[in-house]
Structure 1
Amino acid sequence: MKIFSAAHCCAILAGFALSVANAATSAPPPVFVLNSLEANVSVIDPVTWTETVRIPTGKEPHHLYLTPDEKSLIVANALGDTLTFVDPRTAQVQRTVRGIVDPYHLRFSPDMKWLITAANRLNHVDFYRWDGNEPVLVKRVATSRTPSHMWIDSRSTTVYVSMQDSDELVAMDIATQTIKWRTKTGAMPADVYGSGDDRRLFVGLTGSDGVEVFDISGREPRSIKKITTGYGAHAFRAAGDGRHLYVSNRVANSISKIDMGTQEVVATYPVPGGPDCMDVSADGRWIYVSSRWARKLSVVDTQAGKVVRQVAVGKSPHGVWTLQHAPR
């Protein structure tokens, strides 16, 4: 029988600990799904496709966003008036920030100086200075009814906000926190996505059957096209190739792929259960989408053109996010 010295045993244990640490580091980061009506987050292992844990949050978590340093994933709890900070790699809760009023939707400006939230129930948009650690409220801007989703241009000068129950798109100057213009849209505008050159905005019309495209290159916006995708057009996610954009059609139970150059639908994928928020894998092949009415995370294989997997989550799943995603 071979006998090891104490020093040799310590070396073996150290090596084992290092191998475990390396395995944890190399493991793919989880997929997060917000369960809006259960006040928690489902954490999904993308290897076994099982729910590993549920993280409690404040009431009605709807959307989430990564901090500029990529160290924290912020879950915005609308009815809880809180932000829950979670490690995007380990799913460990880091802290809770209180006193953020009705944070339904949120975005950081590309220059990393501003955190902006939309108060969906209370009809205002809040501008917070961001120092890398704490949001500091600078101004609260009253809006029309039900500010829903936001997009910030690449220069961090303008935030565009959809007004879901006023059928409007509003542009706000970030430096002065004032409204620049507002324009009418189709029925129930929801998510907003801007082209890379800051010249076009795509607006999902949840109360209709498609996406409205606006030219925002001039002093005043112009509605230039309506792309028919499916009823309940709602949320966007970039395909990662700089050209294509996905939109979920909640009522039509489908996801459409739009060519942003030609402004045409080039593919459609059937997705049951009211597809809502999405994320796209880093290689662009997989779409992870919350099936809002089925309590499922659905995985779409874009090569096969269909749902290939579903994972049970909580009530009314909404926001979906993972650290290893396609470029946005």
Structure 2
Amino acid sequence: MSEAAPPSASKRRRRFRVVAAVAAAAVTTSVVVATPASAQFPVGVGPVPISFHLRDDNGKWFDSGLNLFGDQSLAVAEMPRLGTVGGLTTGGELTSLLNSDLSGALGNLVRNVAGQVPVLGSLGTELWKALNLDSTLASIQSIGASNPDATASATKAAGLLGSFATELSTLPADQPLDLNALPVGLDLQGALNDLAKFAVKGPPVTVNFTVDPNESSGIRDPMGLIAPEGAQGFPYENPAGAFFGERSIQLTEPGLYAFTDMVTPYMLGAVVVDDPLTIGLDFGKASQVNSRNLVVPTNSDIVNRLVNTFFNITNPNNWQQFKADSENSFDPIQPPVPILEYDAAGNPVLIPNLDAYFDTKFSYPKTLAKGNQLPAAPGVGEVWIDTEMEEWAGKDKVGSATKVDVTNWTVDRKIGAPSIDMNNPHNMWTDKDYKYLYQTEWFSDKVDVFDRNTGQFIRSTQVGHNPAHVMTEPGSDNLVIGINAGNEVVELAPGGTNVLRKITVSPTGEVRHPHAHWTSADGKTVVTPNVLTNNASVIDMPTGTVKTEKTGQFPIATSMTPDSSKFYTADFLGESLTCVSLAGNACNENGQKVHSKTIDLWANYSPQDGPKSGAPFGGLTIQLPVSPDGKALLAANVLSQTVTVVDPKTDQIVKDLPCTGGCHGINFGAKKGGGYYAYVSNKFSNVMQIIDIDPNNDGNISDAKVAGQLTLDPTSSTKMDGSISGKAGYGGQGVLPVPLVYNGWAQQNQGSWRSQLTCQQLNPITPSACS
């Protein structure tokens, strides 16, 4: 054993040969075969494939077969290097690269008694394993043994690696380390580069995406979010759209790859393709980010912010848990692994422990305020929230609809619908008489109808793959449903009794994947945002004709001003909002009326350095309704956990307000005594926020504020049609306040709530009716 080797090096090296043998066998057969779920590999070496199974289950949306500290959406691969004698070197047992065998030691490293992060040397002999130096050493020794010409280079590299470990022992675990600034750093990098000449890169890594109807009731459409610069095929989009079956891609460069589902973009998976001759898990020198055509150094705010967001979404243990009447600590778990990034100057930067680094960068742990902070003024009626990730006894699928009585701020009812195994309820609407609750099953192909008062199931109507949103048409009361994994909207008769017609959103025939549509106040126009084609379809409902308007990247939701003069899209990957006129020029740009305008949510954000302190910042935006009186637009941002407040009169950002993990849905309801509350849902926390856009009702929205917050867990008085087995209150997505107060719906019928509404609320854009 080399003097530089840690005590456990020989043991790990023996395990390395097992993976090498599997990889070599795959190369010999020259055939890539999809592995069944029962033999699913979370690791890959060249043609030994990684297999993601896209599932309906919480936290298993991109199931890699690996459970890493509660996360099941990450896989790791080794970029194979072929030696001069044709041998395949792997650089280590791949699962050991993730330090799952050191979780206790590394957790203690991050959370010592004094509340400080110790130096790396406190790990003692475990330092070699914690920084994957043993894996690097095994690669060095393997190359040296396989080629006599490489022996001298390998001996030099091994010695420098030992000196490198000694230098690191005095440094803190939570700070990025510029390797070139260390005394031995440049020499070590040079020695590894020299050694690489004797072990050229082998074949690319294969990734299989499997969509099995036994695992996913809905069809899926995976695409790339992040890849190393130069990766061939990125962003791996499929023009044919969503599918059942299997699709394969090739990862051609070492580094970080991340994926999402174009139908359900909070479903995430990732692969780290590691170069065995680098220190730590290799993120690559620069990342292509599927947003604004970004290419950024891997040691940048946007890459690290997206990685942090990934682990806070894909690991259910990292979802924010609010307690109703007391504060709680939020301390998410990130893998305690060493990561190699590169800064803007091209210098290699080692993150010794990702968990410790993110604790420092993102200020973990955080204190969550008590969940129940009730507004001073009540609302009118009720609000329904789709708690899409609640787990119920007797159900294979997740999700429920949760009713909050906003007159006293209590969770009044939950509909889990175990009798029909309701699958990921996503968005809701109601009829003009408030008899029905219309509920889409996003991961299925149905719209369900319930009795709004009793929660009793009435019927389901099959409409098409992955129906996302539903609204009614003022006047006819017909339902309009967007078929997210398809290419059309479906119109149903009142009560959801039968399909009246299907209207394609794509007059040119390409698949568009429409998501959260909006309907005009007169019911004659429907606008769909099309995530696959970066545009919006404007549908004339009387004739069924469609025209197309350009938007930002990956438009996922729409809204309209109450006079239906213009619509907005939330450009999920464009980090922007787009305003588009529906008739004459109605959008505002520098004091002029224009046909369309982009509202930049990153005006105060640098992808390299991060957000400007105290300035509005948004990103990964989802729902964005305009208030019934046209005073404000509110946009929910996943990336920044904020709600952006926009003035529709100027189409300029006014401010932002805080929300919580997975900020998603917003809709407006009536505030008792006048004005409106916006109810905000959050996928990855168990609370909703209540925003008052104009607390003093003076027409100036600069004082918009979060007026309150409410936990969505059931109480002893909550009426339920079953029992919750896990994730109570989680998965907040669709939001439906009742009575409906948007222009066109507000004038139809307010039932027993009419006496509680002001004249202005009954006539949201015609103040003359109240004079």
Same fold by TM-score greater than 0.5: yes
Unaligned runs of 5+ in 2: 1-378, 390-397, 588-593, 602-617, 696-703, 713-727, 744-771
How far the C-alpha of 1:163 sits from its partner, in A, is 0.4
Q: Out of 676, 679, 683, which is 1:288 matched to?
A: 679
Inter-partner Cα distance in structure 2 for 1:325 and 1:172 = 23
How far the C-alpha of 1:123 sits from its partner, in A, is 2.9
Q: Out of 185, 191, 212, which is 2:578 matched to?
A: 212
1:32 counterpart residue number: 384
Do 1:50 and 1:311's aligned partners in 2 also have CA atoms closer than 8 Å? no
Do residues 189 (structure 1) and 589 (structure 2) align? no
> In the TM superposition, what are the counterparts of 1:89-108 in structure 2 within 5 Å?
90-102=453-465, 103-108=467-472
Inter-partner Cα distance in structure 2 for 1:249 and 1:216 = 25
Inter-partner Cα distance in structure 1 for 2:551 and 2:496 = 36
Q: Which amino acid aligns with 1:194?
A: M
Identity of matched residues, %? 20
Task: Report how many residues are paired.
Answer: 298
2:375 counterpart residue number: none
1:137 counterpart residue number: 500
Inter-partner Cα distance in structure 1 for 2:519 and 2:669 = 23
- More helix by percentage: 2
Do 1:238 and 1:326's aligned partners in 2 also have CA atoms closer than 8 Å? no
Q: Out of 34, 57, 62, which is 2:426 matched to?
A: 62
Q: Out of 432, 437, 445, which is 1:81 matched to?
A: 445
Further displaced range: 191-200 or 55-64: 191-200
Q: Out of 525, 532, 548, which is 1:158 matched to?
A: 525
Do 1:68 and 1:112's aligned partners in 2 also have CA atoms closer than 8 Å? no
Q: Which amino acid aligns with 1:295?
A: N
2:51 counterpart residue number: none
How far the C-alpha of 1:63 sits from its partner, in A, is 0.8
How far the C-alpha of 1:75 sits from its partner, in A, is 1.1
Do 1:34 and 1:319's aligned partners in 2 also have CA atoms closer than 8 Å? yes
Inter-partner Cα distance in structure 2 for 1:327 and 1:266 = 22
Q: Normalising by structure 2, what TM-score? A: 0.36
1:310 counterpart residue number: 710
How far the C-alpha of 1:174 sits from its partner, in A, is 1.6
Do 1:115 and 1:135's aligned partners in 2 also have CA atoms closer than 8 Å? no
288 and 61 in structure 1: CA distance in 2 versus 1, 3 angstrom threshold: same
Do residues 201 (structure 1) and 567 (structure 2) align? yes
Do 1:84 and 1:93's aligned partners in 2 also have CA atoms closer than 8 Å? no
Q: Which amino acid aligns with 2:596?
A: I
208 and 156 in structure 1: CA distance in 2 versus 1, 3 angstrom threshold: same
53 and 69 in structure 1: CA distance in 2 versus 1, 3 angstrom threshold: closer
The Cα offsets for residues 79-103 of structure 1, whole Å up to 9 and x where unpaired, read as 3433333344x35225122323232
* Larger RCO, structure (CA 8 Å, separation 6 or more): 1
Inter-partner Cα distance in structure 1 for 2:520 and 2:740 = 20
1:247 counterpart residue number: 635
How far the C-alpha of 1:285 sits from its partner, in A, is 5.3
Inter-partner Cα distance in structure 2 for 1:138 and 1:325 = 25
Do 2:461 and 2:497's aligned partners in 1 also have CA atoms closer than 8 Å? no
How far the C-alpha of 1:40 sits from its partner, in A, is 1.4
Q: Secondary structure at the match of 2:570?
A: strand
Do 2:505 and 2:537's aligned partners in 1 also have CA atoms closer than 8 Å? no
2:598 counterpart residue number: 226
152 and 314 in structure 1: CA distance in 2 versus 1, 3 angstrom threshold: same
Q: Which amino acid aligns with 1:123?
A: N
Q: Secondary structure at the match of 2:485?
A: coil
Inter-partner Cα distance in structure 2 for 1:223 and 1:213 = 8
Do 1:290 and 1:320's aligned partners in 2 also have CA atoms closer than 8 Å? yes
Bigger Rg over Cα: 2
Q: Which amino acid aligns with 2:388?
A: S
Inter-partner Cα distance in structure 1 for 2:676 and 2:432 = 26
207 and 91 in structure 1: CA distance in 2 versus 1, 3 angstrom threshold: farther
2:542 counterpart residue number: 175
Inter-partner Cα distance in structure 2 for 1:269 and 1:91 = 35
Q: Out of 274, 281, 286, which is 2:662 matched to?
A: 274
Q: Secondary structure at the match of 1:236?
A: coil
Inter-partner Cα distance in structure 1 for 2:430 and 2:642 = 27
Inter-partner Cα distance in structure 1 for 2:564 and 2:505 = 25
Q: Which amino acid aligns with 2:650?
A: T
1:122 counterpart residue number: 486
Unaligned runs of 5+ in 1: 1-26
The Cα offsets for residues 259-317 of structure 1, whole Å up to 9 and x where unpaired, read as 21111122321112122112334124533211112233233455472363231444422
Q: Out of 690, 693, 708, which is 1:299 matched to?
A: 690
46 and 131 in structure 1: CA distance in 2 versus 1, 3 angstrom threshold: closer
Inter-partner Cα distance in structure 2 for 1:152 and 1:59 = 25
Inter-partner Cα distance in structure 2 for 1:116 and 1:285 = 25
Q: Secondary structure at the match of 1:235?
A: coil
104 and 281 in structure 1: CA distance in 2 versus 1, 3 angstrom threshold: closer
Inter-partner Cα distance in structure 1 for 2:412 and 2:518 = 32
Inter-partner Cα distance in structure 2 for 1:138 and 1:248 = 32
Q: Which amino acid aligns with 1:60?
A: N
Q: Normalising by structure 1, what TM-score? A: 0.79
Further displaced range: 58-67 or 105-114: 105-114
How far the C-alpha of 1:47 sits from its partner, in A, is 5.3
How far the C-alpha of 1:325 sits from its partner, in A, is 5.9
